[in-house]
Amino acid sequence: MAIYIVEKLLGGLMVVDVRGRITLGPETEALRGKLKQLIEGGQRRIILNLGEVTYVDSVGLSTLVASYTSARRAGGDLKLLHLPRGVHQLLQITRLSTVFEIYENLEAARQAFLLQNS
């Protein structure tokens, strides 16, 4: 199954909608490449909407961590939005839920960025 990535700028924040599976192969390469391109292009505040992601494997998880680290090193942040139950459980099991900021709605994620900058 292919991965679909749609980016949209929303009031200075980049929202990246992801649909499909984030697994070893072209899917993780596509997501990693897109996020790297955004960060290197100056987008430092990214909300990654995973609401339509059906599965994440260990390579997909490392892609999320690497992208988060890249954003932080560049002086920005990457927040997760609309985690499916399986993905949320994976983050809890791996304790990555303590690393990522996870939000259930876009407005809460957006407000977190605004509070971060004030």
In a domain, 32, yes or no: yes
C-alpha 23/C-alpha 90 separation (Å) is 14
Domain count for the chain: 1
pLDDT at residue number 13: 95
Between CA 81 and CA 49 the distance in angstroms is: 5
pLDDT above 70 (res 116): yes
Mean confidence (pLDDT) of the chain: 95
69 part of a folded domain: yes
| Statement: residue 90 has pLDDT above 70 | yes
Report the greatest alpha carbon distance in the chain. Answer: 41
Token pair for residue 104? 């259930």
Residue 93 inside a domain? The answer is yes
Give 7-65 pLDDT, tens digit per residue.
999 988 999 999 999 999 999 999 999 999 999 999 999 999 999 999 999 999 999 99
- Tell me the CATH number at 89: 3.30.750.24
> What is the domain extent for residue 45?
4-99
Query: Is position 35 within any domain?
Result: yes
